[in-house]
Amino acid sequence: MVRAVGGLVAALLAFGALAHSVSEQAQQRMLIGGFFDAAWIGAEHMLTGYDHLLFLLGVMLFLTRFSQIVIFITAFTAGHTITLLFATMAGITANPYLVDAVIALTVTYKAIENLDGFRRWFGRPAPNLLFMVFVFGLIHGFGLSTRLQQMTLAKDPELVTKIIAFNVGVELGQIAALTAMTAVVHVWRTSRNFQLITRVTNGALIAASAVLLALQVHGYFTESVHV
């Protein structure tokens, strides 16, 4: 099981630098396509957004009941929907590398919280988790917005429709990812080594987020040099 977790993280890191790249084909499909094209791109973006997936995995490790899953994922979804819609419609953007660097830090935060790191290492309780998941949803939504704005024109007459379609696709992709994660975590919970698995997984999340952070910082400075 430990090897399986390590292999999964290695695979994520192998593609980490490409997690949020926007291909010319995607840009063209967003510009000339319709509702279903935008929705497909949104789902595709979520399922290849490894920082988003790592954060969701960190959240899923904490949850034990279906009601908890609904509450926390609803808070996360509400957060990223708010910033995805409003930031895109208002044309508010930032350097995507810096936004994704912050998103990588949210993965580290969740893993440390899962390990009770605030109490063990900082001598204080962790902030309210539901509130923090909502805040991190806002950050992740801003990351989605910055990429969406790379794929469409501000003056596109169908901009609002495409934003909504993109968000629908993101939600469908998230549901697919959560379904798979729920099944995997359920299997882990039936193991006698579940405590070891969670420690290894959270340690791997911290390592993966550190690499993703380094990749985004490197991308930012590399882009700055060529500007």
Going by the DSSP 8-state scheme, the letter that residue 125 receives in this structure is P
Give the lowest-confidence range in 116-130, 142-156, 158-172.
142-156
Q: For position 206, what pLDDT does the model report?
A: 93
Q: For position 225, what pLDDT does the model report?
A: 59
* Rounded CA separation 164/170 (Å): 10
Q: For position 111, what pLDDT does the model report?
A: 93
Q: For position 192, what pLDDT does the model report?
A: 87
Q: For position 7, what pLDDT does the model report?
A: 52
- Please report which confidence band the pLDDT of residue 131 belongs to, taking 50, 70 and 90 as the band edges: very high
- Please report which confidence band the pLDDT of residue 154 belongs to, taking 50, 70 and 90 as the band edges: low
Q: Output b/e per residue, 20-43; b: 16+ Cβ within 10 A.
A: bebeeebeebbeebeeebbbbbbb
What does R_g of the chain's alpha carbons equal in angstroms? Answer: 18
Please give the model's pTM, rounded to 2 decimal places. 0.81
pLDDT, tens digit, 9 for 90 and up, residues 104-129: 999 999 999 999 888 888 888 888 98
Q: For position 135, what pLDDT does the model report?
A: 94
Distant-in-sequence, close-in-space partners of 135: CB < 8 Å, separation ≥ 6:
79
**191: pLDDT strictly greater than 80:** yes
**203: pLDDT strictly greater than 90:** yes
* Rounded CA separation 127/141 (Å): 21
pLDDT, tens digit, 9 for 90 and up, residues 36-74: 988 998 898 888 888 888 999 999 888 878 888 889 888
* Rounded CA separation 28/32 (Å): 6
Spacing of C-alpha 106 from chain mean position? 9
Q: For position 13, what pLDDT does the model report?
A: 46
Terminal CA-CA length for the chain: 45
Q: What is the mean pLDDT of residues 12-19?
A: 47
**158: pLDDT strictly greater than 70:** yes
**182: pLDDT strictly greater than 50:** yes
Residue 13's identity, in one-letter code, is L
pLDDT, tens digit, 9 for 90 and up, residues 204-217: 999 999 998 998 89
Q: For position 5, what pLDDT does the model report?
A: 46
